[in-house]
Amino acid sequence: MSYQSNHPPAQRITRAMLLALVIAVGVMVIEWLLLSALNVGTRVTVFVIVAAITSVAIGSVIGQWTRKRWQKEKA
């Protein structure tokens, strides 16, 4: 009996995670520059909160996109 996985191959997941990391770092750099330009007093706290939310959102979007694309290729 052969078992077919419903998960994308590890290589595809790795590429998606790398893409998410690159995008998240770019967004965080832009965010830090904006916070510096706006002279926000609690810059680090705001940065941590927004960076966490942004990273989760980017990861979720890229993960769903990767899964849908893989399922389309599989079908």
Structure confidence at residue 2 as a pLDDT band (50, 70, 90)? low
Kindly state whether residue 44 falls inside one of the protein's structural domains.
Answer: yes
Q: Tally the domains of the chain.
A: 1
Q: Which domain holds residue 52?
A: 16-74
User: For the segment 43-55, what is each residue's pLDDT rounded down to a tens digit?
Assistant: 888 888 888 888 8
Kindly list the distances between the CA atom of residue 36 and the CA atoms of 28, 39, 44, 45, 58, in Å, as whole numbers in the listed order. Answer: 12, 5, 10, 13, 23
CA distance 8 to 69: 9
CA distance 18 to 7: 18
Number of C-beta neighbours around residue 20 at 10 A = 20
Token pair belonging to 38: 């706006």
pLDDT over 50 (residue 57): yes
Phi, psi of 7 (to 5 degrees): -110, 145
pTM of the predicted model, to two decimals?
Answer: 0.65
Kindly state whether residue 4 falls inside one of the protein's structural domains.
Answer: no
